[in-house]
Chain A
Amino acid sequence: MSDNIVINVTFAGIGGQGVLKASDILADAAFRAGYDVKKSEIHGMSQRGGSVTSDVRIGKSVLSPMVPPGEADFLVVLAPEEIEANRHRLAQPAQCCEDNSCCARSAGGVLIDTSIISEDQLEDKRSLNVFLLGALSAHVDIAGEHWLAAIRAALPAKVHEVNERAFAAGRLAAGSI
C-alpha cells in the first residue's frame, strides 16, 4: 500500500453471525501492522436478525470512516442472501470515480463469500467469519503474525486453535476466487 492508497473493506451479514467481530479483527490486525485504520458500522439492531454491515478502511492516513458506495475493494459477505443487497458497495471495474483519479482500482472490487468454502473445509461454522478473513488476508498486505495476534486478542483462548485452522483454510481457499 503506497502513498494515499486507502483499502476499503465492507463486511456484510446477518446479526449474530460475527460481522462486527470480523471487522474488529481486521482493524486490529491493520493497526498492529502499523496502518492508520478506521472502522464504522450501525449496530443498534444487530442482535435481532437484521442486516448488518461494517466498514474498515486501511491506509497511511484515513479520513472518513465510511466506505463510499461503489468504492469497496473487498466485500466480505457472511450470508449468501445478503450478497445482492450489498453488491452496489463494490468498486466497479475502472469507474469508481469519474476521472479515475481517486484510486488505482481499475480491476474492480473483489467479492469474498461463502461460495469459496468447499465441503469439510470449515470444521466449526462459528468460525465462518475467521475463515473469510483468511481468504481476505491473501489479498491484503498485512503479515500473518498480525492477523493471528488480532484473532487471539478478539476470541477466548479455548477457540484459538479452531479459529487459527479456519483462518489457514480460508487463506488456502482464497486461491479459488
Chain B
Amino acid sequence: GAAFGGARALATMKHVGLNVAADPLFTAAYTGVSGALVVVSADDPGMASSQNEQDNRRYAAAAGVPMLEPSDSQESYDFFLRAIELSERWRMPVILRLTTRVCHSKTVVMTRQDFPAPSRPRFERDVKGRVMIPAYARIAHRNLRQKLGGIQAWNETSDLNVEFDGDASLGIIASGIAFMHAREAAPGARMLKLGFTYPLPIERIRRFAGSVERCVVIEEGDPVLVEASRAAGIEVEGKADMYRFGELDVARVRRILAGDTSPEPVPPRGRPPQLCQGCPHREVFEVLSKLGCIVAGDIGCYTLGVLPPYEAMDSCVCMGASIGVGLGLRHVLPPEEAKRVVSVIGDSTFVHSGITGLVEMVYNPPPTGHVLLILDNSTTAMTGLQEHPGTGRKLDYQPTGRVVFEDLARSLGIANVHVVNPTKDREGFEKLLVAALESAEPAVIIARRPCVLAMRKMKKYAEIAGGAENV
C-alpha cells in the first residue's frame, strides 16, 4: 500500500517469513509499485535458529522479482540503496537476499550522503495495472516478463557484478558471503562476483566461464547458480552434495575446490540453550510433562520445552502450526489419545499467525474439544524482547492499542477462557488444564507472566508511560 502510494517501502523477514509473504509478493511482481518496495529476507543456511534451510533465491525466479545479494555490511548498506533505485526505476519490488553470516556480522561501513530524497507520496489511479482480475492480470504477466527482459539486458553490464583478475587456470563464480570465503580460500583465482543475481547476467557468466580453464561455482545451499548456468549451456563445476547442507566457510570452500569429499571433522558439541532460571514456561512444561499431554508446539523460546528435563513437545513446524496440528490430531486420533492433545503457542506467535487457527477451532471443533494454551510472557523473547500487538506498546515502546487475548477468544465464541499465572499458582494452572482436558468444549488457557529478561524493561516503560500521564 505504501509503495502503491508512491512512498519508499521496506519489508523485512527471515527466509520462512517470505513463505508467508509469498502470496502478495507474486502478485506485487505483476502490479509493480509507484514508489519503491524492497523486501529484505535472510536465509539461514546451517539453521543457527530456524526450522529449515530453504534457499530463497528460488523465490526471485519463481515470482519474477529482481534480487540483490550483498556479501558484507558495506554491501548491505550500498545494495539496499541500490535496491531502492532499481525498484523506483523499474517500478517493481526488489528482494535483498541476506544470509546468517551477512546479518550476524559487523564490518566497517562508509555511509553515503548523496542519496536522492523520496518523491512526495500521491495516489496514482491505474485500474488495469493494480486490480488483478484475470483480464488485467494476463496483461500484467506479459508486462512483467518484458520488464525482466529489460532488466536482464541492463544487468549484463551492471557494476553490481564485479570481475577480479587472476590466474586463468581457475575461475570462481560466487555471490553473497560465499564470495568472501572463496576469495580467501583461493586468492589467486579469477573471480566473477555476482551482486545482482536475478535475472542473471547469463552472457557475462558465459564469457567468464569461457575465459578460464576450470570454472567452479561456489554457492551456499541449493545449486541455483550451477543449474541456471548449465541450463544456459555453460559448463561449470558445482559442489559435492555434502556441501549443500550447512554454512560454507573458508575451510569448506578449500575442500570443495580440492574435490575433497572425505568426511568433515565434527566439532565438539557446545552446551545447548535452556529455559532461563525463573522462566514462567518452566512450570507449564513441568505440568504438560507430568500429565503426559500430546503437545503440538510452536516457534519461540518455549520450543526448548522439547529438550530434557521436560521433553514435552511433539511437533513444531512453523509459526502458528500448533493450533492446526493440534486440531488435526484431535479430529483423527482415537478419543483416549485425542483427549491428551494440547496446542501450545507463545503470545507473539499467536498474534502473528495463531488467530486464524483459533477461528478454525470455533468453526470446526473436534468431538473431544480442544485446549489452546497461550504462553503469554508479554514480549517476543526469542528474538530480543520486541513488542507486539498483545503488549500495548509499539516497537519504539510508545503506548498503543492492545489486543487482549482473553477478550478476543471470548468474542470469537470460546466459552472456557481462563487466565492464570503459572509461576505463582502452579497448582491452579494444573487444575485448569486437567479440567479443560476432561471437558469436550474448546478451551483457551492463557498462562500469563512476564519474561524474566523483560521484567525490568517493562517496569521502566510503565514508569515512563505513568510519568507522561502525570505531566
Chain A contacts to B: CB under 8 angstroms: 14-15, 24, 27, 31, 36-45, 47-51, 53, 62-66, 68-70, 81-82, 84-86, 88
Determine whether the beta carbon of B275 is less than 8 Å from that of A48: yes
Q: How far is the CA of A24 from the CA of B104 in the complex (A)?
A: 12
What 0/1 pattern do residues 43 to 59 of B give for CB contact below 8 A with A? 00000110000000000
Given B48, B184, B271, which contacts A44 in the complex, CB threshold below 8 Å? B48
Contact residues of B: prevailing secondary structure = loop
Listed in ascending order, the chain B residues whose CB lies under 8 Å from chain A are 48-49, 72, 100-101, 104-108, 177, 180-181, 183-184, 249-251, 265, 267-276, 301, 304, 382, 453
15 A–B contact pairs at CB < 8 A?
A14-B271, A38-B106, A44-B48, A63-B181, A64-B177, A64-B184, A64-B249, A64-B250, A66-B181, A68-B251, A69-B249, A69-B267, A82-B270, A85-B269, A88-B265
A-B contact count (CB 8 A): 95
Chain A residues with CB under 8 A of B180: 63-65
Closest Cβ of chain B: how far from A8's Cβ, in Å? 11
Could you say which of A41, A53, A65, A84 contacts B72, with CB atoms under 8 Å apart? A65
Interface pair B265/A40, CB less than 8 Å apart: no
Q: Out of A15, A38, A85, which one reaches B273, CB within 8 Å? A: A15
Report the nearest B residue to A87, measured CB to CB.
B268
Give the residue name and chain of the B residue nearest to A85 (CB): B268
Q: Which residues from B are CB-within-8-Å of A49?
A: 271, 273-274, 276
A13 to nearest B CB, angstroms?
Answer: 10
Determine whether the beta carbon of A48 is less than 8 Å from that of B273: yes
Determine the distance from Cα of A42 to Cα of B382 in the docked complex, in whole angstroms: 13
Q: Which among A27, A64, A85 is the interface contact of B270 at CB below 8 angstroms?
A: A85
Are the C-beta atoms of B106 and A27 separated by less than 8 Å? yes
Q: Note all chain A residues with C-beta closer than 8 A to B101.
A: 40, 65-66
* B108 cross-chain contacts in A, Cβ below 8 A: 31, 36-37
CB contacts (< 8 Å) of A51 on chain B: these are: 270-271
Q: Which of A38, A42, A82 contacts B48 (CB 8 A)?
A: A42
> Shortest Cβ distance from B301 into chain A, in angstroms?
7
Measured between beta carbons, the chain A residues less than 8 angstroms from B301 are: 48
B102 nearest CB neighbor, chain A only: A65
How far, in whole Å, are A48 and B274 apart by their CA atoms in the complex? 5
Residue of A nearest to B453 (CB): A47
Chain B neighbourhood of A68, CB < 8 A:
249-251
- Complex Cα–Cα for A147 and B226 (A): 46
